[in-house]
Amino acid sequence: MGTCTTEKMTYRVLLVDDDIELSGLVADYLSPHGFAVETVTNGNLAVSKILAENPDVVLLDVNLPGTDGFSICREVRDQFTGPIILLTARDTETDEVLGLEFGADDFLAKPVSPRVLLARLRTHLRRQPSEEPSAPENVIEVGKLKIDRSRRSVVVAGKPVTLSTAEFDLLWMLAQQAGAVVSRVDLFENLHGFKFDGFDRSIDLRVSRLRKKLGDDPHQPTLILSIRGVGYQLAIEAS
């Protein structure tokens, strides 16, 4: 998705935020680190901009004039597969849960630390699809499911399925240990890069979204199984 394939890559960031001063500071900080930031200040313009320009990553404020950030995330999520990072000044668990339910990949509270933002951007953008042929170790097949890490593609029973960055990474972790139980702690810490506090629901919410997209009955799942009190298992007998 990067706009340049040379060693020094430039990534396109679409920042949707009506705080003009903050937007300028973010753009100034990220620019020397290889990010070209474009800003949209009204939520009503964001959906068409995201889908038309397909940026490498979207930074999306929750509270916007016009359409709010949650609605924007929900509307573009099935068509835009890049990372969506929500920004909010409220720092509430409710906001985070809603954002994850609508398909956000990450969540940052304002005021945003520039260094933290840069670190999160780099983490998400390392997980980009490759145009190179996939090596055998980058392809896992489990029953009707085929996952290609290089191309970041998923096929279920011969039909392609579009996943967000975070959803794909979660599925890949489960597929690497198909048939075994992977704990919530391991899933959380590998995906987020920091310690699990025991209360975060992001893994459960992403599993729920994954089941829907993969056609796995959320009430009686046969593909991604819940192991009470431990975590999740990708069933190797799933058909």
The pLDDT of residue 3 is above 50: no
Please give the average per-residue pLDDT across 67-90, as a whole number.
89
Query: Which residues, 6 or more positions from 87, have their beta carbon under 8 angstroms from its beta carbon?
Result: 17, 59, 60, 61, 62, 69, 108, 109, 110, 112
Cα 208 from Cα 219, distance rounded (Å): 10
Band (102; pLDDT cuts 50, 70, 90): confident
Please give the average per-residue pLDDT across 85-114, as a whole number.
81
Helical residues (DSSP H) of the chain, grouped into ranges: 20-30, 43-53, 69-76, 93-101, 114-125, 165-176, 184-192, 202-214
Please give the average per-residue pLDDT across 91-105, as a whole number.
76
Please give the average per-residue pLDDT across 116-127, as a whole number.
84
The pLDDT of residue 192 is above 90: no
Secondary structure (3-state) at 18 = coil
CATH of 11-125, one of 3.30.390.30, 3.60.21.10, 3.40.50.2300, 1.10.10.10: 3.40.50.2300
Residue with more model confidence, 4 or 163:
163
Please give the average per-residue pLDDT across 119-142, as a whole number.
73
Cα 210 from Cα 190, distance rounded (Å): 18
Average pLDDT of the chain to the nearest whole number: 84
- In the chain, which residues fall in CATH 3.40.50.2300? 11-125
Residue with more model confidence, 16 or 137:
16
pLDDT score, position 48: 95
pLDDT score, position 1: 47
Provide the token pair at 124. 């998400």
pLDDT score, position 134: 53
Please give the average per-residue pLDDT across 109-115, as a whole number.
87
CATH annotation of 136-234: 1.10.10.10
Query: Mean pLDDT lowest for which of 27-31, 97-101, 109-113?
Result: 97-101
Torsion of CA 144, 76, 133, 170, to 10 degrees: -50
| Residue whose C-alpha is closest to residue 4's, from 142, 12, 180 | 12
Band (198; pLDDT cuts 50, 70, 90): low
pLDDT score, position 196: 61
pTM over 0.85, yes/no: no
pLDDT score, position 138: 84
pLDDT score, position 164: 80
- In the chain, which residues fall in CATH 1.10.10.10? 136-234
Summarised one tens digit per residue, pLDDT across range 34-63 is: 999 999 999 999 999 999 999 999 999 999
